Structure 1
Amino acid sequence: MAERARACSGVVKLSGGPFGTVATYLPGDRLTGVSADEREVEIAIVATLARPLPETAEEVRRAVADLAGNRPVNVRIDDIVEGS
Structure 2
Amino acid sequence: MAERVRACPGVAGLSGGPFGTVATYLPGERVMGVSADGDAVTIAVVATLDRPLPETAEDIRRAVSDLAGGRPVNVRIDDVVE
Global fold match (TM > 0.5): yes
- Between the aligned partners of 1:31 and 1:39, the Cα distance in structure 2 is 19
User: TM-score, normalised on structure 1?
Assistant: 0.96
Number of residue pairs matched?
82
Tell me if 1:43 matches 2:43: yes
Unpaired segments ≥5 residues, structure 1: none
Tell me if 1:2 matches 2:9: no
> Could you say which residue in structure 2 is the equivalent of 1:21?
21
Give 3-state SS (helix, strand or coil) of 1:62's partner. Answer: helix
Q: Which residue identity does 1:19 align to in structure 2?
A: F
> Could you say which residue in structure 1 is the equivalent of 2:64?
64
Structure 1 residue 38: deviation in Å?
A: 1.1
Unpaired segments ≥5 residues, structure 2: none
User: TM-score, normalised on structure 2?
Assistant: 0.98
Q: Show structure 1 runs of 4+ deviating over 6 A.
A: none
CA RMSD of aligned residues (A): 0.5
Give 3-state SS (helix, strand or coil) of 1:69's partner. Answer: coil
